[in-house]
Amino acid sequence: MRTRLPLLAVSLLLLGCGRIERPPAEESKMKQRLAKYTEVKLETDLSLLTEKERQMIPLLKRAAEVMDELFWIQAYGDKLTLLAKVQDPDARRFVQINYGPWDRLEGDAPFIDGVGPKPPGANFYPADMTKDEFEAAVAASKDGGRAMKSLYTVVRRDADGALAAEPYHQAYGMLLKVAAAALRDAAKLAEDAGLRRYLNLRADALLTDNYQPSDLAWMDMKTNTLDIVIGPIETYEDKLFGYKAAYEAYVLVKDKEWSRRLEKYAAMLPALQRGLPVPDAYKKESPGADSDLNAYDAIYYAGDCNAGSKTIAINLPNDEEVQLKKGTRRLQLKNSMRAKFDKILMPVAGVVIAEDQRPHVKFDAFFANTMFHEVAHGLGVKKTIAGKGTVREALKDRFSSLEEAKADILGLYMVTRLIEQGELPGAVLMDNYATFLAGIFRSIRFGASSAHGKANLLEFNFFEKNGAFTRDPQTGAHRVELDKMKAAVNDLSARIIQLQGDGDYAGVGRLFDDMGLMGAQLQSDLNRLARASIPVDIVLDQGAPTK
């Protein structure tokens, strides 16, 4: 069992323990691994902020840094002990990028000698626990497994060796108090009343694991310029059941000019829901009326969102009750998005997209596809129509990958509809389709262990099977077939929503078994991208830690 002691309390004496040295061949391989990332410094115009807002940034970063420490504990365990054993600076850097000794872009393959496979349940569960043991403990529990399956508990063994749930706010209490104090100090400086209220409620949430009041307050914020997304949020790290939320944080500055361009689309959500290509039973839910779309520049990433591939858009909260009552907020991280487009997507398109269609790969289309991906998370079905509870509960470990595929495809469906209706002035559908196809190649490279990578494999294979694109055998360039792409988008949208509405766990498994595998031709194309020395993702230069 890995330690749960706060990392700040780990003795510096560990630095004297045995180190791992690497032979020259391994050092060369490690440099190749590092080359999968290109370093980016995220910047924005802070002169637009008030003096007090600028004073808040170090406090928000301090709270975010605690999320980084907590995610290390959740994803691996004792960071300092691991780093103390790795002498090679390139290997140490790669450990830090991956928050552990497993390569997130290579299906979590271990890259440090003597390290075994990554536990599918990360450090949320005992390493020796089986699925059957967990299910038996859930069945025997007095609360029907509510605590065991909670987003905000770790599962440990008690003194008798039995499984027991421990709330996050108890397991990580010392560090959470540091983060909460930083948020409260920032709240004292906040000039925006909505932001001040949210920061105080979020501080309370970190210490109680009751996040709904702060989620509702976050949805009510409309006039703030600074923002922070912080706490245990996504469940991608738990590949055993998909139950446990991982800590992360983003510190953000709103781009008010870009945000104004997006305002009108939030009002269209109810109509988009009614127009989904599925039977009425699967679109009875109505998205909250307070949903909004905004553009931000990110100035700090921490924890889950900073591990391996970097997030470029956010759709939150995940709480289904909040979504139905208030909707969600979709945050487009514009500077992160631009960095990925310029440094990765355009070079990828130069290799895999037909030469005459490459001019259709455009940033505005990338922005729109990403935006409507996030919109699509809020549409469709949240509660199964088959009486199996929420979609998340019914689909368990298969939820995240299918939900990401739904957001991709349903987002593209909505872009298609809005362009046809004249609601995206100046947009050309081929731009969105060609950019999306290039984007599949970009995202598949995130690795088979990534929910986004699995989703993109499904989409690629479905499109290929339905003739949505063709591939020139001589050049290896791919060409979008417009009409067949439209039909494939409709068909896959309907299939995914119905699987979710039915809570069909076995059906989702069959879909990924059939369409979620890496084919030899696709692997060959990905190898061409690697030989072209195109990075897979960005890694962030975030400066020195706050004090």
Specify the pLDDT at position 9.
38
Give the contacts of 415 (CB within 8 A, at least 6 positions apart). 368, 369, 372, 424, 427, 429, 432
At residue 27, the pLDDT reads: 58
Residue ranges, the chain, pLDDT below 70? 1-27, 287-291, 448-449, 547
What does the DSSP 8-state code read for residue 342? I
In angstroms, the CA 93 to CA 307 distance is: 12
Beta strands 246-254; 102-103: pairing state: unpaired
Give the chain's length: 547
CB neighbours of 12 closer than 8 A, spacing ≥ 6? none
Determine the pLDDT at residue 263: 75
Q: How would you class 66 by CB atoms within 10 Å of its CB: exposed for 0-12, middle for 13-18, buried for 19 or more?
A: buried
The CB density around residue 62, as the number of other CB atoms within 10 Å, is 19
Classify each residue of 526-536 as buried b or exposed e, where b means 16 or more C-beta atoms within 10 Å of its C-beta: beebeeeebbb
CA distances from 18 to 87, 92, 426 (A): 9, 14, 61
Residue 448: predicted pLDDT: 64
534 with 34: CB under 8 angstroms? no
Residues 6+ apart with CB under 8 A from 218: 198, 202, 316, 317, 329
> For position 2, what pLDDT does the model report?
32
The pair of three-digit structure tokens given for residue 78, joined into one six-digit string: 């004792």
What is the rounded CA–CA span in Å between residue 32 and residue 14? 29
CA distance 386 to 345: 40
Tell me the C-alpha distance between 311 and 332, whole Å: 10
d(C-alpha 323, C-alpha 293), whole Å: 14
Q: What is the pLDDT of residue 142?
A: 93
Q: How far is CA 111 from CA 65, 102, 237, 319, 364, in A?
A: 25, 6, 18, 36, 38
The CA distance from 2 to 124, in Å, is 10
> What is the pTM (predicted TM-score) of this model?
0.82
Instruction: In whole angstroms, give the CA distance from residue 214 to residue 355.
Output: 49
The answer for residues whose C-beta is within 8 angstroms of residue 143's C-beta and 6 or more apart is: none
Tokens found for residue 281: 């039973």
Q: What's the burial of 243, exposed, middle or buried (CB within 10 Å: 0-12/13-18/19+)? A: buried
| Interatomic CA distance for residues 86 and 82, integer angstroms | 7
For β-strands 469-471 and 163-167, DSSP reports them as unpaired
Q: Phi first, then psi: what are they for 295, rounded to 5°?
A: -105, 140
Find out whether the peptide bond into 287 is cis, omega within 30 degrees of 0: no
What are the distances in angstroms from CA 308 to CA 101, 107, 239? 12, 11, 16
pLDDT value of residue 207: 98
